């Protein structure tokens, strides 16, 4: 039997621009391969066209034998023609496709994040939010099996899920493992990347901290900030420090290579209603690459047995940051990071998720 992972962003084997759903697709494909004859990534043509237009006129894509693009018009014919297979859907936006697929095939619904909370934070109107809630309800009711990213999200949807037997915890976990040991001499910290997140308290503290500690070399990874953005004044201050390198964004391979040179990664945003449920991809990737992390109290605290770093819902202070950076530099979090690597390995080799579907 074959398995199709329905993608809404490109997996790392296809593109160098990888977002959380792309990483999730790669993780699911890896977990499914033990149970199926063949695992494919499947993308609809409309989605493919939209994404490839964003990627500088359709360049930057690799051909991959496992990556299939199906024209929306031929979707029904495709679903009727292929032998019975398993389809995994990560996004609620695929609900019409999900409904068509479940006529002849096994369908799995994968919950990566509470989408309606993201919509609310992004200021979408109430109809959109309600539509997302409704689609989530339909998909979780009708799916053969439901995967959920972490216990915090399971708790959030407790009412939906309490009638379901086949709800399985499957935390987001990148496939990449720590690279060969290399001198870790850099500190990485982040500016906000979403419209509804604000990292200015962190950037303000980092201005003071890095100004006083020229011995620390740091990379700031942040989208370009315009003058009206409250973070821009701190980014300007940081740009004048000789020990701070500011980068807008990196390709997936360069990002992972940079993480392998860092001993710590810091990402702290003002707490909002969506933040406690967030499983920050930045932080998950950092831990997978062997970096200690400093972040908000998010769903990640339920991930690893011993958190490899510090969490705080209070705005970071100079003392907190100094203590964390010095502890990370001296290797204080190394046992917790080793433990997290073993935990990640356990997630990726979990055979219970797709058992009985292949």
Partner 1 sequence: MNGDFPDGSLLREVEPPRSPEGSEGSEDRRVGGWVQIGDVGAAAGSLGSMPSFALDNVQMAARGARGFVVGGLRHVQDHDIFLLNHRPTVYVMTNQVDMAHLTMHLYQGRLQLTPFDRLVAANGDEDVFTFARPWAARYFCSAGEAQEFIAADGMNGPLPAGFAGLPKSVYLKLAEAMHPLQLTPYSPVVAATPACTHLVGSLIEPTKTLCAAAEKLPVDIHCIDAGSIDLVTDLDPLPRFIIVPTVTRAEETVESISVRLRARCPKPVTLAKAMACHAVPAGRVGALVFEIG
3-state SS record for 147-189: EECCHHHHHHCHHHHCCCCCEEECCCCCCCCCCCCCCCCEEEE
The residue (of 2 and 208) whose beta carbon lies closer to partner 1 is 208
- Letters for 16-35 (x = contact with partner 1 by CB under 8 A, - = none) are xx------------------
For partner 1, the binding residues in 260-299 under the rule CB under 8 A are 261
Determine if 241 is a binding residue for partner 1 (CB under 8 A). Answer: yes
Determine if 55 is a binding residue for partner 1 (CB under 8 A). Answer: yes
Determine if 257 is a binding residue for partner 1 (CB under 8 A). Answer: yes
The residue (of 193 and 311) whose beta carbon lies closer to partner 1 is 193
SS3 262: strand
Q: In this chain, which of 69, 75, 175, 250 binds partner 1, going by CB under 8 A?
A: 250
Smallest distance from partner 1 to CB 249, Å: 4
Angle between helices 281-288 and 252-259 (to 10 degrees): 60
Smallest distance from partner 1 to CB 342, Å: 27
Residue 83 DSSP class: P
Determine if 59 is a binding residue for partner 1 (CB under 8 A). Answer: yes
For partner 1, the binding residues in 176-235 under the rule CB under 8 A are 217
Q: Which two tokens stand for residue 197?
A: 């997140």
Q: Judging by beta carbons within 10 Å of its beta carbon (0-12, 13-18, 19+), is residue 261 exposed, middle or buried?
A: middle
| Contact residues for 111 (Cβ-Cβ < 8 A; gap 6+) | 136, 140, 146, 147, 148, 149, 153, 157
Smallest distance from partner 1 to CB 114, Å: 28
User: CA–CA separation, 50 vs 62, rounded Å?
Assistant: 17
Determine if 240 is a binding residue for partner 1 (CB under 8 A). Answer: yes
For partner 1, the binding residues in 326-355 under the rule CB under 8 A are none
Report the chain's terminal Cα–Cα distance, integer Å: 6
Where along the sequence are the contacts to partner 1 (CB under 8 A)?
A: 16-17, 54-56, 59-63, 217, 239-251, 253-254, 257-258, 261
């Amino acid at each position: 039997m074959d398995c199709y992972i329905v993608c809404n962003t490109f997996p790392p084997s296809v593109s160098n621009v990888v977002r959380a759903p792309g990483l999730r697709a790669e993780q699911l494909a890896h977990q499914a391969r033990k149970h199926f004859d063949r695992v494919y990534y499947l993308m609809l043509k409309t989605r493919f066209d939209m994404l490839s237009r964003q990627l500088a006129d359709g360049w930057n894509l690799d051909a991959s034998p496992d990556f299939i693009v199906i024209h929306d018009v031929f979707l029904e014919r495709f679903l009727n023609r292929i032998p019975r297979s398993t389809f995994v859907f990560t996004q609620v936006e695929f609900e019409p496709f999900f409904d068509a697929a479940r006529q002849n095939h096994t369908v799995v619904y994968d919950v990566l994040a509470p989408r309606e909370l993201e919509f609310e934070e992004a200021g979408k109107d109430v109809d959109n939010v309600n539509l997302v809630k409704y689609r989530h309800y339909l998909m979780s009711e009708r799916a053969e099996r439901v995967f959920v990213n972490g216990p915090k999200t399971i708790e959030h949807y407790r009412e939906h899920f309490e009638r379901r037997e086949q709800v399985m915890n499957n935390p987001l976990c990148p496939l990449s493992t720590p690279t060969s040991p290399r001198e870790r001499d850099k500190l990485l910290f982040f500016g906000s990347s979403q419209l509804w997140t604000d990292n200015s308290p962190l950037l303000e503290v980092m201005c003071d901290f890095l100004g006083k500690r020229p011995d620390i070399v740091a990379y700031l990874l942040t989208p370009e900030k315009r003058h009206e953005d409250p973070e821009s004044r701190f980014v300007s201050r940081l740009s004048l420090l000789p020990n701070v390198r500011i980068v807008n964004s990196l390709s997936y391979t360069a990002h992972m290579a940079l993480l392998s040179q860092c001993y710590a990664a810091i990402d702290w945003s003002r707490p909002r209603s969506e933040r406690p449920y967030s499983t920050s991809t930045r932080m998950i990737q950092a831990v997978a690459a062997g970096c200690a992390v400093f972040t908000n109290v998010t769903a990640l605290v339920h991930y690893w047995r011993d958190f490899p770093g510090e969490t705080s819902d209070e705005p970071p202070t100079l003392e907190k940051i100094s203590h964390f950076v010095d502890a990370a530099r001296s290797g204080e979090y190394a046992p917790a990071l080793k433990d997290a690597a073993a935990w990640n390995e356990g997630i990726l080799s979990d055979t219970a998720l797709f058992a009985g579907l292949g």
